[in-house]
A and B are shown apart, each in its own frame.
Chain A
Amino acid sequence: MNKHTLIEKLKAMAASPSASDPVKQAVKVYLAALAVEQVAVNNLIAVLEDNVVDVDELLLEVEHDFDHLVKHFGVEGAKIFAENARALKAAGAKYCNCMACTVALEILDNKDVLRG
């Protein structure tokens, strides 16, 4: 039985006259928590979609905002960052390969699993 079917059963049960008041209340609280979780997961997915950096954006930052990179990573770190961005573009990659972007892409590939 999937989660959706179980939730429908819980709703029907809570509306039945033989369900006790504490059960009705527990179902109500659970359904409210579930709704909040669904909003949070949809928000997370929207933010993930917004935040995955494509490789051209990465190069733009290298070319036009190098100072910002230096501030963030130091001179050596910024150089490595720039080399990585150029190597990514040359290899035909579409997105940044930092940990956050890599994980974000994996999560987005499976977003329906997270939505449950």
Chain B
Amino acid sequence: MDKPETGEKRALIDKLKAMAISPSCCPELQKATLSYLSAVAFEQVAVKSFLASLNEALDLSQQTLIEKVRDMAVTPTCCPVLRHAAKTYLSALTAEKNAAQNLLKELESDISDINHLVAFSHSDRAVQKFGAERAKIFAANADALKASGAKYCNCFACTTAREVLAEKDVLLD
């Protein structure tokens, strides 16, 4: 049996399509080709749907496993020690997710946008924090960053915070 979506098969299918719409193709051949092409399309949809359901059946994601732990803890055959371990795990998990949410909120509120950075770099607070000379360098860097079209501060903490926020589902899932 041909593997679906192989390069060779795709190339042949493209040739058949071109042939079917060419003026020199006789009606019988055109009909047979179109009938074959619709069968191929149907088969490909069926194969994709089968593979998707297979993946779903095989994939015990962390979420599915957590549901299983929850279900197991309430079955009558679950012993008290196991029930307790499951409950302890589930509450530790909740605490971890709450801490992750709190951390993500904190990261969101702490990323400096470029206008905030420029304003701060030219302020007295920057002079107080870094000294007059370093504050000047800091302000020049902030101005250059803004001129380059950057939207956010490029310090290590802000850059990392944005990287973490871009992948926040990894911490929340």
Interface residues of B (CB under 8 A from A): 60-62, 65-66, 68-69, 71-72, 75, 77-79, 81-82, 85-86, 88-89, 91-93, 95-96, 98-100, 102-103, 106-107, 110, 155-158, 160-161, 163-164, 167, 170-171
Interface majority SS on A: helix, strand, loop or mixed? Answer: helix
Cβ contacts under 8 Å, A104 to chain B: 72, 82
B86 (CB) vs chain A CBs: closest residue = A44
CA distance A98 to B91 in the complex (A): 25
Residues of A in contact with B, size category: 35 or more
Provided the pairs A6-B164, A13-B160, A37-B96 are in contact, do residues A103 and B72 lie with their beta carbons within 8 angstroms?
Answer: yes
How long is the Cα–Cα vector from A18 to B86 in the complex, in angstroms? 40
Chain A residues with Cβ under 8 A from B75's Cβ? 98-100, 103
Some 22 contacts from A to B, beta carbons below 8 A apart, are A3-B170, A3-B171, A9-B163, A13-B157, A18-B157, A20-B157, A23-B157, A26-B99, A32-B99, A36-B95, A37-B92, A43-B85, A43-B88, A44-B86, A47-B81, A51-B82, A100-B78, A101-B77, A109-B60, A110-B65, A114-B69, A116-B62
Partner of B71, one of A32, A51, A103: A103
1/0 per residue, CB under 8 A from B, across A10-29: the answer is 10110010111011001101
User: Whole-angstrom distance from the CB of B112 to the nearest CB of chain A?
Assistant: 9
**In the complex, what distance in Å separates the CA atom of A33 from the CA atom of B93?**
8
Q: Chain A interface (Cβ within 8 Å of chain B)?
A: 1-3, 6, 9-10, 12-13, 16, 18-20, 22-23, 26-27, 29-30, 32-34, 36-37, 39-41, 43-44, 47-48, 50-51, 98-101, 103-104, 106-107, 109-110, 113-114, 116
Chain B residues contacting A22 (CB-CB under 8 Å) are 106, 110
Shortest distance between the CB of B81 and any CB in chain A (Å): 6
**Given A23-B107, A43-B85, A48-B82: A33 and B157 interface contact (C-beta under 8 Å):** no
Within the complex, what minimum Cβ distance (angstroms) separates B60 from chain A?
5
In the complex, residue of chain B having the shortest beta-carbon distance to the beta carbon of A36? B92
A34 touches B96 (CB 8 A): yes
| B77 pairs with A10, CB closer than 8 A | no
**Chain B neighbourhood of A26, CB < 8 A:** 99, 102-103, 106-107
Chain A residues near B92 (CB, 8 Å)? 33, 36-37, 39-41
Closest 6 CB pairs of A and B: A40-B92, A33-B99, A13-B160, A47-B85, A18-B155, A19-B157
| A23-B110, A43-B85, A110-B60 given; 10 more Cβ-contact pairs under 8 Å | A6-B171, A13-B161, A29-B99, A30-B96, A33-B92, A36-B92, A37-B96, A40-B93, A99-B78, A103-B69
